[in-house]
Structure 1
Amino acid sequence: MDLMQFVPMFGNFAFMIVAFVVALSIIVAIHEYGHYIVGRWCGIHAEVFSLGFGPVIFRRTDKRGTVWQVAALPLGGFVRFLGDANAASVGSDGTVSSAQMRRTMLGAPLWARTATVAAGPVFNFILAIAVFAGSIMYQGRTSDPLTFEELRPLPASMSTGLQSGDVMVAVEGVPFDAQARGEASMDDLPLQERLDYTVMRDGDQITVSGPYYFPPSIISVTPRSAADDADLKVDDVITAIDGTPIFAFSQVQELVLAADGAPMDFTIWRDGARLVKTIAPRRVDLPTPEGGFETRWLIGISGTIFFEEQRESVGPFEAVKLGAQGLWDTVTTSLSAMEHILFGKISTCNLSGPVGIAETSGSMAEQGAQSFIWFIGALSAAVGLINLFPIPVLDGGHLVFFAYEAVTRRKPSDRAVQVFMFVGLALILSLMSFTILNDTLLCP
């Protein structure tokens, strides 16, 4: 499904807001449902499950006495348990009898409270794994031997005699390694506009001329990047930069790096039409395999090979394993980025707030349902991680209080909890204000 068909109906800004609200609502609903369902399993009664804040626009009470509601401001949500003084489950409203205390958050055993609070972030992680695993199952993996499924759109100058169903054997006489998708083999290829491909077709081995293996064809555009601001699209093909003809994606990388941030004129082929876009590369901090970051000049595009490969299915167990690995990579990269920002090793522009997330939501939705769903998984992982930070107001802050109680055998005083909550709220509001300033003025 192409989500871009809805853009003319709403307008770009409204489409971005709708995408942001949809992504946030799904993530918040899963997070709060984790609190609700685990609390219910632990014997803690939920009085209200709310998606959003402010005036209620829909409300229904279930057979257990829980009010399920949707409020007018879709910027979060909450579960209010029996006896809670507020939506953050801090303090008691003083209306619960001693007989009912076991059904409240404050009166439940420590293990039940801990499980209920931890369930929100855990459910966010489960959603991330499910999304990553589902994407892997949907996409499958490259079949072996590598077989052409469909040729990507390219200008006539990059045309090829290859066909769907051809099986790759060699490129310029170099045997093709399907397991490595040819990445190792491509290092040995000459950098030239036309290459000879040896393929199996209908039982016969033939050699056909085709474009460079990695042409300057765009497979993805990074949200809020220079390319995104210049309105580059997936399937655009870069044919020239500052008048220099381009036929390989590596040439784009080299010229962008050499420009050192200076504006460049990109000639773009799009559905048979030629456009010229002026784009200035930006310095971007990228994670390295070793766990650090490197700063490079980029415009924010990814390239791909000139055809789509036939793919084979991935089993659910392997997909879940790969999805869990995707979650681990997301969490560790996020923690590394926060550490580098904290110690000034990389720019604070790597920190996004509500405005940046909203813009990214719209950009990912524009790239299609699959990209948008993957973004929801990545954002869910980030939300789960942030909620585990040991900051009062967040779930991690509650877990710190519970750890204190487990060690000292007594709950922290109400006064201490109130002070820490105030400090935590001030910290969160300050961070949110900074990220909004970051998104709008410092790193637009």
Structure 2
Amino acid sequence: MDILGQIPSFGNIIYTLAAFVLALSIIVTIHEYGHYIVGRLSGIHAEVFSLGFGPVLLSRRDKWGTQWQLAALPFGGYVKFLGDAGVASDKASDVLADMDAATLRHTMHGAPLWARAATVAAGPIFNFALSIFVFSAVILIDGEAVEPPTIATMQPLPVSAGSLLPGDQLLALDGRATPDYTAFYEALTDLPVTAPLPYTVIRDGSEQSVPGPYPFPPLVRALQPGSAAMDAGLEKGDVILAVDGQAIAAFNQLQEIVTSSDGAEMTLTIWREGRQFDVTLAPRRVDLPTEDGGFETRWLIGMTGGLFFTPQTRTPGIGTALGYGMDQTVFIVKSSISGLYHMVTGAISSCNLRGPLGIAQTSGAAASQGVSSFIWFIAVLSTAVGLLNLFPIPVLDGGHLVFHVYEAVTGRPPSDKVLKFLMTLGLTFLLGMMVFALTNDLFCP
């Protein structure tokens, strides 16, 4: 494999790196702030809150005596509590030995068990909270579709939209009642891929029949970062007219061709703002989570289709939005755990595990699609970071919580010797996983 040939231009590297650093900085700041604020509220004093590692570029000390600093290496961050020997919250035994009881109470190692456990757990919890907030904010901003399906705006298409207009309520499609979007999509099951089709609509308070296009054309509504479609230069709003010269008029026709391609290279004829051109790409094997918790492997080009119109929406209630945000976060957690399990068992490819280069590339690709796509990516990555930190591996928050559970059960913490050994073991394991993930970034397709 020609690795050097896959490296993008210098400008793209800078853009990708900037997007990665920004995404990581936001997630790390939220994570470490969770540790900091819960620690402070539970009586544990933070000496340093650092975004980044290495030489300090900027710093200031607040009224609680915490030094807030920006360091030169922006690939992480930490909170150093009173009594810590370093950024991993290991004991400064000589310092702790000289403290009186009152001062010792304000250290991570001398605070009550509940305070230590709450402070450790707060980091991942704040990551999940960030994800829920972002997903909830997205639906509050974008809104939820009103029913019956109602046209807000029309998508430019290479075929006529018939007589449909913005504001039309779609009551029926080719004689099939469509009181809601579930019924609307069900009507596509045996709908002829022809145009025009008869729509029954309410317009200006009266019911009438008007012609319109096939409702689900091969239209690009969104692109998956790092996908074959994005790499080939497809853009949101493009319409695929043909595959290898075979004309298509429906998104499901494109799906069938791609799914059965077995990864063979194909040429797509694209319509974009009135002009036509061809692009060549090859579908990629992707392991997708299923509703039953398993995975299915499919050939995909990485684009999402959509209706020929943008639905009219309304702002949902706060409860509905929060429910949506929690559902999205839980889905990512479940899919991630299921994915790891299936990789370990060999059911899906270990190439699904990506390292810093893969994440950075995805960061840049998400940012290139706009602010909303980038913010969504940050929320997804924040969930992943929160979940990773809960794994029961020494060095990670989850490992510390296991130590706290041991202390709660036995009445005493693990010995310093045992802790040192387990922390070294955990660090070795994490470094090994990082090397493995980095290898995937370089050599997996």
TM over 0.5: yes
2:202 is matched with which residue: 188, 200, 203? 200
Aligned to 1:130: 133
Aligned to 2:110: 107
| Equivalent position amino acid for 1:182 in 2 | F
Question: 2:79 touches 2:87 (CA, 8 Å); kept in 1?
Answer: yes
Distance across 2 between alignment mates of 1:173 and 1:332: 40
Query: 1:326 Cα shift?
Result: 1.3
Task: Report 1:302-321 matches (<5 A).
Answer: 302-321=304-323
Aligned to 1:17: 17
Residues 332-389 of structure 1, C-alpha deviations (whole Å, 9 max, x = no match): 1110011000100001121121111111111111222111111111111111000000
Question: 1:239 touches 1:268 (CA, 8 Å); kept in 2?
Answer: yes
Aligned to 1:282: 284
1:395 matched to 2:415? The reply is no
1:332 is matched with which residue: 307, 331, 334? 334
Distance across 2 between alignment mates of 1:258 and 1:118: 46
Distance across 1 between alignment mates of 2:235 and 2:112: 55
1:436 is matched with which residue: 426, 435, 438? 438
Distance across 2 between alignment mates of 1:18 and 1:298: 28
1:33 matched to 2:36? The reply is no
Distance across 2 between alignment mates of 1:381 and 1:160: 44
| Equivalent position amino acid for 1:121 in 2 | P
| Equivalent position amino acid for 1:259 in 2 | S
Residues 187-233 of structure 1, C-alpha deviations (whole Å, 9 max, x = no match): 13112243222222223333332221100001111112211221211
| Equivalent position amino acid for 1:207 in 2 | S
Task: Report 1:83-94 matches (<5 A).
Answer: 83-92=83-92, 94=94
CA 1:181–1:153 in structure 2 vs 1: closer, same or farther (change >3 Å)?
Answer: farther
Q: Which stretches of structure 1, 4 residues or more, deviate above 3 A after TM superposition? A: none
Task: Report 1:244-283 matches (<5 A).
Answer: 244-283=246-285
2:123 is matched with which residue: 120, 124, 133? 120
CA 1:83–1:406 in structure 2 vs 1: closer, same or farther (change >3 Å)?
Answer: same
Query: 1:441 Cα shift?
Result: 1.4
Aligned to 2:3: none
Distance across 1 between alignment mates of 2:344 and 2:195: 46
Deviates more, 1:198-207 or 1:23-32: 198-207
Give secondary structure in 1 for the equivalent of 2:83: coil
CA 1:161–1:13 in structure 2 vs 1: closer, same or farther (change >3 Å)?
Answer: farther
Aligned to 1:59: 59
Query: 1:442 Cα shift?
Result: 2.3
| Equivalent position amino acid for 2:145 in 1 | T
Structure 2 residue runs of 5 or longer lacking an equivalent are 1-9
Distance across 1 between alignment mates of 2:277 and 2:419: 60
Question: 1:51 touches 1:77 (CA, 8 Å); kept in 2?
Answer: yes
Task: Report 1:174-253 matches (<5 A).
Answer: 174-180=176-182, 182-253=184-255
Distance across 2 between alignment mates of 1:61 and 1:366: 37
Question: 2:117 touches 2:401 (CA, 8 Å); kept in 1?
Answer: yes
Distance across 1 between alignment mates of 2:430 and 2:297: 28
Q: What root-mean-square deviation, in Å, do the aligned CA atoms of Structure 1 and Structure 2 show?
A: 1.4
CA 1:251–1:158 in structure 2 vs 1: closer, same or farther (change >3 Å)?
Answer: farther
Query: 1:286 Cα shift?
Result: 0.8
What's the TM-score once normalised by structure 2's chain length?
A: 0.94
Query: 1:411 Cα shift?
Result: 1.5
Query: 1:11 Cα shift?
Result: 3.5
Question: 1:32 touches 1:120 (CA, 8 Å); kept in 2?
Answer: yes
Query: 1:85 Cα shift?
Result: 0.4
Aligned to 2:4: none
Query: 1:167 Cα shift?
Result: 1.3
Between Structure 1 and Structure 2, how many residues are aligned? 433
| Equivalent position amino acid for 1:167 in 2 | Q
Question: 1:83 touches 1:94 (CA, 8 Å); kept in 2?
Answer: no
Question: 1:195 touches 1:211 (CA, 8 Å); kept in 2?
Answer: yes
Query: 1:422 Cα shift?
Result: 0.9
| Equivalent position amino acid for 1:125 in 2 | F
Give secondary structure in 2 for the equivalent of 1:91: coil
CA 1:336–1:158 in structure 2 vs 1: closer, same or farther (change >3 Å)?
Answer: farther
Question: 1:177 touches 1:185 (CA, 8 Å); kept in 2?
Answer: no
1:370 matched to 2:372? The reply is yes
Structure 1 residue runs of 5 or longer lacking an equivalent are 1-9
Query: 1:158 Cα shift?
Result: 4.4
Aligned to 1:3: none
Question: 2:28 touches 2:76 (CA, 8 Å); kept in 1?
Answer: yes
Residues 76-96 of structure 1, C-alpha deviations (whole Å, 9 max, x = no match): 100000010011101115224
Question: 2:148 touches 2:178 (CA, 8 Å); kept in 1?
Answer: no
Question: 2:49 touches 2:79 (CA, 8 Å); kept in 1?
Answer: yes
Question: 2:177 touches 2:183 (CA, 8 Å); kept in 1?
Answer: no
| Equivalent position amino acid for 1:441 in 2 | F
Residues 33-84 of structure 1, C-alpha deviations (whole Å, 9 max, x = no match): 0000000011000000001111111100001110000111111100000010
| Equivalent position amino acid for 1:184 in 2 | E
Give secondary structure in 1 for the equivalent of 2:79: strand
Aligned to 1:381: 383
| Equivalent position amino acid for 2:413 in 1 | K
2:155 is matched with which residue: 147, 152, 156? 152
Distance across 1 between alignment mates of 2:206 and 2:405: 69
Give secondary structure in 1 for the equivalent of 2:69: strand
What's the TM-score once normalised by structure 1's chain length?
A: 0.95
Give secondary structure in 2 for the equivalent of 1:410: coil
